[in-house]
Homo-oligomer: A and B are copies of this chain.
Amino acid sequence: MRSSEQQTRRPLQPRHRWGVAPARISARHTARRRLDHRYALVAGVFSTNADRSKGFAATLDITPDRRYTSWQEMAEQEAIRPDGIEVVSIMTPNDSHYAIARAFLERGIDVICDKPVTTDLAQALELRALSRRNGLVFGVTYNYTGYPMVRQARAMVQNGDLGAIRLVQVELASGWASTLLEAEGHKQALWRTTPEIAGKSTVIGDLGTHAHHLARFITGLEVTEVAAELSTLVPGRRADDNGHVMLRFSNGAKGLLWVSMVAAGNLHGLRIRVYGERGSLEWIQEQANELNFRPVDGPHQILPRGAGWLDPAARRVNRLWPGHPEGFNDAFANLYTDIAEAILARRDGIEADPMAYSFPTIEDGALGMKFVEATVESNQQDGRWVDATLDLED
C-alpha cells in the first residue's frame, strides 16, 4: 500500500550511481512538499552482483519481491504490477543508459536519467522520439540547474538585466584524476577512462555536457559552432582528460569552455561567467549561495540566496534564510521536485507551474550528445569550427 512506501534517498545520495533506482511518485502531494515527500523508493537494482543488489535493497526497506537483480527483470515485472513504479531513475555507467531508458519508456514509465544521456547522438534522438511517441516525461539530471542562484541568473538574463549576451566563460575543471588512478584500481576512474564505457570523449561527455547545458540554461542561447582541442595530459591514460573548446552562440556571442579532470589542486571547479552589454554574472558552485552581478556602471553586487527581493524563479526553490547555506543535495532535490511536478501534471492531464518546466529533458540530452560529437570532430580536424546545432523542430 502506498502509505507504507519509504521515500527515496537517491537524490540525497547521488554517489550511489551504480544501481537502477526506480521510484514511484507519492500520491499525496501538497504545494509545500519537498523532494523527500515526492518520491517513494519501492523497487530497484543496485548492483550487477545479485546478492549485493538485494542486500542493499533490503536496507532501503524495499519489499523482497521488488529487490531485482537485473533492470530487464525489473522493467518487465514493474510494468505488469498494479502498483508498479511510475518513474525510474537511471544512474549507471554511460553505456547502459540507452538500453535501460528504452526498456522503461517502451513500457510507459517516465524516466529520469543521468548525463550524458547516451554514448552517441543517434541513440539520444531515438530515446527522444520514443518518449514523445509515448507522451512520457524524460528528465536528465544536469543537476546544477537546481541551484536557486542558477535560477536567479537565468531569470536576470531573461529579464534583460545584462542586455544582449556577448560572452560566456564556463569551466568544470577538477583535479581528481591528476594521477593515473585507473592503474591503481580506482573504480570511478576506471570506467570513466575506458572509451568503450564512457563514450567518444570522457571529459566532454562527463563534464562538458554539464558545462554546455549550464551555459544554455542560463543564457537561453544555443551553441552553434565549436572549435576544440581534447588532450590526454596524464601519461598512460586511454581517454582524454582535458578539453578546451571555443564556442559560438546563436546570437553571435562567443565563449570559452574548459573541462578537466587534471586541474591539479582544484576541487570540483564549476564556474560560469556571462557577459552582456550592460554587465555580467558569475556563479561559482563552491560559493553556491551567492550570485555575482557586475553592472557596467555601478558596484559589484553579491546577491544572496534567500533574499526576499530575488526573482520568483529563485525564491520558488529556496529552503533556508540567507546566511544558512544550502548545498548540492538541496539543489539536486529541487530538480527532482520539478520533475515530480511535471510527471504529476502529465498523469493528471494538466499543466504544472510553468517554472517547474525548466528541468532538463531528452532534448537537452540530445543537444549534449551533439555537442560531444561536434567537439570530437573539431579536435580531429586541427581545431577548425564545426557545427553543433540540431534540428529539433519536428
CB within 8 Å of B: which residues of A?
1, 3-4, 6-7, 9, 12-13, 15, 28, 30, 32-34, 36-37, 59, 61, 162, 166-167, 169, 174-176, 178-179, 227, 229, 231, 233, 242, 244, 246, 248, 253-256, 258, 260, 262-270, 275-280, 285-289, 293-304, 306-307, 309, 319-330, 382-385
Contacts and interface: CB of A to CB of B under 8 A. Distances in A.
A275 to B, nearest CB: 5
B296 A265 contact: yes
A178 B303 CA distance: 19
Contacts of A293: 265, 299
Contact of A304 (B36, B300, B303, B385): B300
A167 B265 contact: no
Contacts of A288: 325
B233 A286 contact: no
Nearest to A255: B244
A122 to B, nearest CB: 27
Contact of A384 (B254, B307, B383): B383
A33 B59 contact: yes
Contacts of A242: 166-167, 254
Nearest to A143: B324
Contact of A258 (B176, B178, B256, B304): B256
A323 B12 contact: no
Given A7-B7, A227-B227, A246-B244, A320 B327 contact: yes
Given A12-B36, A246-B229, A254-B244, A279 B264 contact: yes
B285 A325 contact: yes
A174 B54 CA distance: 49
Contacts of A28: 59, 61
B169 A258 contact: yes
A273 to B, nearest CB: 8
A166 B384 contact: no
A267 B328 contact: no
Given A34-B13, A277-B264, A294-B266, A167 B324 contact: no
30 contacts: A3-B61, A7-B7, A9-B36, A33-B59, A36-B36, A166-B233, A166-B242, A167-B263, A178-B277, A178-B296, A227-B229, A262-B275, A264-B279, A265-B295, A266-B275, A266-B280, A267-B323, A268-B322, A285-B324, A289-B325, A293-B299, A298-B301, A298-B309, A319-B329, A320-B329, A326-B329, A327-B327, A327-B330, A382-B385, A384-B384
